[in-house]
Chains A and B, each alone.
Chain A
Amino acid sequence: MTGKLLFSIGMMALILSACNMGSRGLDPGNAIKVTVASFEKQAAVIVEKTVVIEGTVLHTCKHGGKRLFLVDGNDSVSVEVTAGKDIPKFDEKLIGSRLRVLGVLKEEKIDEKYLNEWENEVKKPLENHAAGVHTGAQGHEDQGTQDKLDQINSLREDLKKSGKDHLSFYSIEADKFEEIKK
């Protein structure tokens, strides 16, 4: 009886501590301050650097809560934030909250090979949610096959126009975050 009770208490403690991870004690230290509006302009020169950013959560990924999107005032520009190893998930209750996020700026390179593989994934009957570029726009997770193929074709066009061999998409891999209370 005592053993079972201890087991249950232990499990609950594990869950509760996990739910609170990543939301305390954010010390920006020497992190580079970036804003949602200037993120795209700044990103290319600070890849793999530690950054701190503030914004309002527009969307969290409902497939495991591993990513969220920050905006600032309007939704014309958004910044993708992915959960680092110490953050179990971004709960949907964060939507609409203002967050301060500390993390490392990451670059994802999308080239012709990537687009070909993505297209193959999309055409498979079983959805591979991890594949592709996540936009954070309303309903992007409920995209049908045709929508995804359209997105791939649009990226192919962008790639062609860019004159480069790849497109760069930037995101922040969060180590910690905190909610900014008004």
Chain B
Amino acid sequence: MQIKTLRRWNNAIHRDVGYLCVGMTLIYAISGIVLNHFKSGDLVHPDYAKSYKEVIVPLPEDGKVTQTYVFSVLDRLGERDHYKSHVLGTKSLEIFLSMGSVYIDLSNGSARVEKKTPLYVIREFNLLHYNNIKKLYTWFSDLYAVALIFLAITGMFVLKGKNAILKRGAWLTLIGILLPALFLLYYM
């Protein structure tokens, strides 16, 4: 087969596999940024945005935490409709809400109200990125990874001339390989 024909096939397959990989690439890239910043501590949770408010609440009059006391705290915070359950600690009380919680220090009445908002779509992307689904998705994501390898290899042979892999392309490819290697050398 001639080089010209090979290149035509290479480019056609590279193009079509590239189109097929758009969806998964966006999923992994967007989720990758989120998980990256979650791992580095910039985000509290990868699937939820959270906000916190510090307040002081009255302590139970007789020192006993009852359902009435829990509701009175929630009434004060305007959260009674969102009540789910509560759990008593040694010197603390945690009230769970449908989208958050109230953590009360029973020694001084200081409370932290946590509100959370689901990061819709990103949450689903993370599920896929972590491969929590397993089963058939494992094979599907393997196939995607193989497709990425294929794209990387065929991508090197798309162009000819001064931008080809043996000219300008060689330097750029080398830089792309050296950059992660430098990080490894520096940090390991």
Contact = CB atoms under 8 A, between A and B. Distances in A.
Given A74-B89, A97-B84, A65 B132 contact: yes
Main secondary structure of the interface of B (DSSP, over half): mixed
Contacts of A7: 23
Interface string A110-144: 00000000000000010000000000001000000
Contacts of A73: 87-88
B133 A138 contact: no
B97 interface: yes
Contacts of B89: 74-76
B85 A97 contact: yes
Nearest to A8: B23
Contact of A92 (B38, B48, B133, B137): B48
B127 A18 contact: yes
A1 interface: no
Nearest to A74: B88
B96 A96 contact: yes
Interface in B62-89: 84-85, 87-89
A58 interface: yes
A162 B126 CA distance: 42
Contacts, number: 71
Interface string A13-28: 0110011000000000
A85 B134 contact: yes
A66 B84 CA distance: 22
B87 A138 contact: no
B88 A96 contact: no
Contacts of B30: none
Interface string A70-106: 0101111000000101001101110111100000000
A17 B46 CA distance: 21
A71 to B, nearest CB: 5
Nearest to B48: A92
Interface string B129-144: 0101110110000000
B90 A64 contact: no
B80 to A, nearest CB: 14
A92 B87 contact: no
B127 A96 contact: no
Contact of B132 (A76, A89, A95): A89
A74 B86 CA distance: 8
Interface in A32-67: 56, 58, 62, 64-66
A9 interface: no
B132 A71 contact: no
A142 B132 CA distance: 22
Given A62-B45, A62-B46, A89-B130, A15 B88 contact: no
Contacts of A83: 132
7 contacts: A15-B127, A74-B87, A75-B89, A76-B89, A92-B47, A93-B99, A96-B85
Interface of A: 7-8, 11, 14-15, 18-19, 56, 58, 62, 64-66, 71, 73-76, 83, 85, 88-89, 91-93, 95-98, 125, 138
Given A74-B88, A75-B88, A95-B101, 8 more contacts: A18-B137, A19-B124, A19-B127, A65-B132, A75-B89, A95-B96, A97-B96, A138-B103
